[in-house]
Amino acid sequence: MTGVAVVQSGQPYSLYEFYGASGSLYVGNYPNLMNPVLAIKNPSDPKSAFTGNKGSFRGAGGVYMPTIDPTQIAINYLAPGQKGIPVSTGTDPQDIYETDFAPSDQRNLFRQAGQRRLDLSFRKAFQFTERVGLNYAFNVFNVFNITSLDVPQNQTQLAQSYACSNTANAVTDSNCQSSYLNYGQIATSNDPVDQQSALAK
């Protein structure tokens, strides 16, 4: 009998926004060539951004209960006059929708659930003659059927076309709710318990 046990801490992860809520002043909309980290309101206490749900369960209405609370997102808006944004001198329109990068301390604030699994293999060799033998193997993967959850869906879609000026509106405004349907949802996990057997001559 042989076995392989995997016990490890979860992978660190950040929140991302590729639709202009992070760094739009520098890269505009859809900054796909970078990782625009999205900030939270209280980076000194990352747990304050959690809802208390694992992200793998649905509520009574069938909607996933997210891991991350969207109301705890902090978008770094820049005011006219900051970092070269023009200031209106009369009736000219005012640009109040430019966003800056998140502070550097916002990266990898969160960590996914720990990963645990045990695989066992049972093997037996039968030797009938000097030249003829038989090997039997029975393998069991994830013996205790432990679910190891993947990183939650950590990319929002705060698209400028939705005209959402802040995350509070995004939660209540029907034009913005589609941005959050999958946010904080656990989409994948490892395979459940499985087994296989083999016979070799």
Where residue 184 falls among pLDDT bands split at 50, 70, 90?
Answer: low
- Comparing 45-49, 66-70, 187-191, which segment has the lowest mean pLDDT? 187-191
Most confident of the ranges 133-147, 154-168, 180-194: 133-147
Q: Token pair of 131, please?
A: 């030249």
Mean pLDDT, residues 147-167 taken together: 63
How many other β-carbons are positioned within 10 Å of the β-carbon of residue 18? 22
Mean residue pLDDT of the chain comes to: 78
- Pairing mode, if any, of strands 155-156 and 16-17? parallel
Mean pLDDT, residues 153-177 taken together: 50
Q: Token pair of 23, please?
A: 């760094």
Burial class (CB in 10 A: 0-12, 13-18, 19+), 164: buried
Would you state the pLDDT for residue 167?
42
Q: How far apart are CA 122 and CA 14, in angstroms?
A: 41
90-135 pLDDT, tens per residue? 788 888 888 888 888 888 999 888 888 999 999 999 998 888 899 9
Would you state the pLDDT for residue 3?
94
List strand residue ranges (DSSP E) for the chain, in order.
2-8, 12-13, 16-17, 39-40, 73-74, 110-111, 115-127, 133-141, 155-156, 194-200
Mean pLDDT, residues 12-40 taken together: 82
Q: Model's pTM, two decimal places?
A: 0.67
How many other β-carbons are positioned within 10 Å of the β-carbon of residue 56? 18
Would you state the pLDDT for residue 162?
42
Mean pLDDT, residues 54-74 taken together: 77
Give the C-alpha distances (Å, rounded to integers) separating 93 from 10, 78, 85, 96.
47, 15, 12, 9
